Amino acid sequence: MSINKDNFVIYPSYFNSALSRSKGRKQPLSESVKRPTSDEIEKILKSLKFNFTSETKSRPSNPSQSENRFLVNCDIKKSDLLHQIGKELKKSRQT
């Protein structure tokens, strides 16, 4: 699937508490966990009922490492989407 203006690209590393913001973490530590997996993100996106697809690509900031990314089609702002995913990720790790 190609990226269009309605899709937001989400990488699991956005939520990796082991990374600094300059290394690719996008969420605050309060919404981050150690080594989030693609499976966790996928499960959260399904539970929140977002339309998405996934594919393996390298991040522009780290072209030597490939990871799954999610192309999410939704009608909310990307920052709101990231906050929802981050909160659910933290919640799922606490139980």
Q: What type of residue sits at position 50?
A: F
Q: Which two tokens stand for residue 60?
A: 């522009």
pLDDT confidence bin for 5, thresholds 50/70/90: low
* Residue 42 placed within a domain: yes
Number of compact structural domains in the chain: 1
Instruction: Supply the range of the domain harboring residue 83.
Output: 7-94
Phi, psi of 86 (to 5 degrees): -60, -45
* Residue 2 placed within a domain: no
Q: Domain containing 53 — which CATH number?
A: 3.30.56.30
Model pLDDT for residues 55-93, shown as the tens digit of each residue: 998 887 777 888 899 999 998 999 999 999 999 999 998
pTM here is 0.87
Model pLDDT for residues 12-44, shown as the tens digit of each residue: 999 999 999 998 899 999 999 999 999 999 999
Please enumerate in sequence order all residues whose Cβ is within 8 A of that of 49, keeping only pairs 6 or more positions apart, or say none.
Answer: none
* Residue 75 placed within a domain: yes
